[in-house]
């Protein structure tokens, strides 16, 4: 367990990101709504993934889709400008639901580009 924390911190993975992954909960103090990707528009260019700050690390390639895990997304909007097709939108804070279990396979896996 200590090794994982040291590795994660050395690679830019913040302790608060690890806590959000562990608890699968969004930071309640974030004022902005989490974002989502409209896959009917997305062209899978990964510009958003590269723009997402590592301390949030919310965007993943999940199968053929690109997904944003709302519990990890601060709504910072850093992914919006790089997106060439404007497929990223804010979720209504009241209507977003818990992330599907299968999406949680991505954080801290070999597919986690934020580590």
pLDDT tens-digit map of 10-66: 344 566 999 999 999 999 899 999 999 999 999 999 999 999 999 999 999 999 999
Residue 33 DSSP code: P
What is the number of structural domains in the chain?
1
Q: Could you tell me if residue 51 is inside a domain?
A: yes
For residue 69, tell me if it sits in a domain.
yes
Provide CB contacts within 8 A for 27, sequence distance 6+: 16, 20, 74
The CA distances from residue 17 to 23, 25, 40, 41, 63, in Å, are 10, 10, 29, 28, 23
Q: Which residues make beta-bridge pairs with 96?
A: none
pLDDT score of 2: 33
Any domain includes 79: yes
pTM of the complete model beyond 0.85: no
pLDDT of residue 8: 37
In a domain, 111, yes or no: no
Mean pLDDT, residues 77-85 taken together: 97
Percent of the chain whose pLDDT exceeds 70: 86
- If one counts every other C-beta atom within 10 angstroms of the C-beta of residue 50, the result is 12
Q: Tell me whether residue 113 is in a domain.
A: no
- Confidence tier at 94 by pLDDT (50, 70, 90): confident
Full DSSP string of 51-113: HS-TTT--EEEETTEEEE-TTT-----TTTTT-TT--EEEPPTTT--PPPGGGGGSTTSTT-T
- Tell me phi and psi for residue 60, to 5 degrees: -140, 150
Any domain includes 96: yes
Domain that holds residue 89: 2-105
**Is 56 among the domain residues?**
yes
- Residue 1 clears pLDDT 70, i.e. is over it: no
Q: What is the CATH number of the domain that holds 100?
A: 3.30.70.20
pLDDT given at position 14: 64
**Residue 72 falls inside a structural domain:** yes
């Amino acid at each position: 367990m200590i090794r994982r924390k040291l590795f994660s911190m050395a690679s830019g993975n913040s302790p608060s990101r690890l806590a959000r992954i562990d608890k699968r909960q969004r930071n309640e103090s974030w004022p902005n709504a989490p974002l989502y990707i409209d896959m009917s528009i997305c062209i899978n260019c990964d510009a958003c993934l590269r723009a997402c700050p590592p301390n949030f690390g919310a965007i993943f390639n999940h199968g053929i889709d690109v997904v944003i895990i709302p519990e990890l997304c601060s709504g910072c909007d850093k992914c919006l400008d790089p997106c060439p097709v404007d497929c990223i939108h804010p979720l209504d804070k009241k209507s977003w639901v818990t992330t599907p279990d299968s999406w949680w396979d991505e954080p801290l896996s070999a597919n986690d580009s934020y580590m």
